[in-house]
Amino acid sequence: MVDNPLPFTDTVAALPAAVPFVGPETLQRRRGAPFRARLGANESAFGVSPKAEAAMREAAADVAWYGDAESWELKQALAEAHGVPTEAIVIGAGIDGLLGVLVRAIVEPGTPVVTSHGAYPTFNYHVNGHGGRLEFVPYRDDREDWRGLAARAEAVSAPLVYFSNPDNPMGTWWPAAEVQQLIAAIPEGRILVLDEAYCDFAPPEALPPIDVTDRRVVRMRTFSKAHGMAGARIAYAITHPEIVTAFNKIRNHFEVNRMAQAGALASFHDAAFIRRVVEEVERGRQDYYATAARLGLKAIPSATNFVAIDMGRDGDYARAILSALQEDGVFIRMPGVAPLDRCIRVSVGRPEERAILDQALEAAIARVG
């Protein structure tokens, strides 16, 4: 018994000392050597737009100043491109940061929140941090079960539902017509988070039209994936202006730095660069499909910048393969719950990294047996 406990809330005091992800830098420190292929965090292996790099270098001269609290220039560009008013967009420090603000606005101790079992764990991290009660719906056929999510949300009167399309960690997706059915199933006065972090890699038919008159939907998009700016931490939400007002009441208004704002704006205008990245990612996915087929494995068709490869057994076997790859200097990740954890998840790397993965995976399978 501690005589003088620290003054944490009961919610925080009861939480385990855990983080959603162990970063590759931490893993490298543990193994005492750098990875030769970094293929686990779904970062872009193809760098940042040269125009964005130049803009960030120029902005660095003014880094003594706080960033624009409204990210106004970027917000204007996004609003024009998406055909919405600037009042319908909020900029944040990555989708992780935006999720944290939205959860803070809605979730109190005991609030039911619905998500898929095995979906993006940082959302769960935020909900747990505010004492919410997570209600999990299993995946169905390696996809988030939108019908199950809608039914569970109705059963527990959940004010907040999380759904990603395309999905992480499986890379699967639903067509826009079915996403619209999920939206229609959300009652007024409740909110669906539609996480579209991987939308740049998805087929156009996966993305429903944007409607910021609908107060039930918060769509989130990022500069971390196709734009190659994961380390800059910048993303945005598109939603009804009333919800943006709620964000503005509690968000950290100076969390997005000047360099990230400048880089994101320049990258957003460099459509040719993004097209080249998307094309290279498609080539990489095809390489991974070929690797899986060569090794007698099944790759799950992906609409993201990673591929889930079904290792054909259970989670223990997939974890053994992951460990063997890490020992060989190849950083990957895998889904965290059964039956998804029969797979490993491999980010699309440069051609030389894809060749390393091809050889290392074959060697890992031989070693694990």
Q: Write the CATH number for 351.
A: 3.90.1150.10
Task: Say yes or no: 209 and 348 in one domain.
Answer: no
8 A C-beta contact, residue 200 and residue 18: no
Does the pLDDT value for residue 3 go beyond 80?
no
Task: Say yes or no: 91 and 235 in one domain.
Answer: yes
Assigned domain for 5 exists: no
Task: Say yes or no: 210 and 84 in one domain.
Answer: yes
- Residue 218: per-residue pLDDT: 98
Task: Say yes or no: 219 and 310 in one domain.
Answer: no
Calculate the average pLDDT of the chain.
Answer: 97
Task: Say yes or no: 161 and 89 in one domain.
Answer: yes
- Residue 21: per-residue pLDDT: 85
What's the CA angle centered on 350, arms 345 and 351, to 5 degrees?
105
Q: pTM, whole model, 2 decimals?
A: 0.96
Task: Say yes or no: 105 and 232 in one domain.
Answer: yes
DSSP label at residue 220: E
Across 69-93, b (16+ Cβ under 10 Å) vs e yields ebbeebbebbbeebebebebbbbbb
For 335-344, write each residue's pLDDT tens digit.
999 999 999 9
Q: How confident is the model at residue 2 (pLDDT cuts 50, 70, 90)?
A: low
Task: Say yes or no: 30 and 66 in one domain.
Answer: no
CATH code of the domain containing 165: 3.40.640.10
Task: Say yes or no: 95 and 145 in one domain.
Answer: yes
**Bridge partner list, 221:** 236
Task: Say yes or no: 276 and 260 in one domain.
Answer: no
Structural domain harbouring 301: 21-47+272-368
DSSP label at residue 301: P
For 50-80, write each residue's pLDDT tens digit.
999 999 999 999 999 999 999 999 999 999 9
Task: Say yes or no: 265 and 280 in one domain.
Answer: no
Task: Say yes or no: 288 and 342 in one domain.
Answer: yes
Task: Say yes or no: 245 and 126 in one domain.
Answer: yes
For 293-302, write each residue's pLDDT tens digit.
999 999 999 9
Separation between Cα atoms, residue 96 and residue 6, nearest integer Å: 27
- Residue 100: per-residue pLDDT: 98
- Stretch 208-233: mean pLDDT, rounded? 98
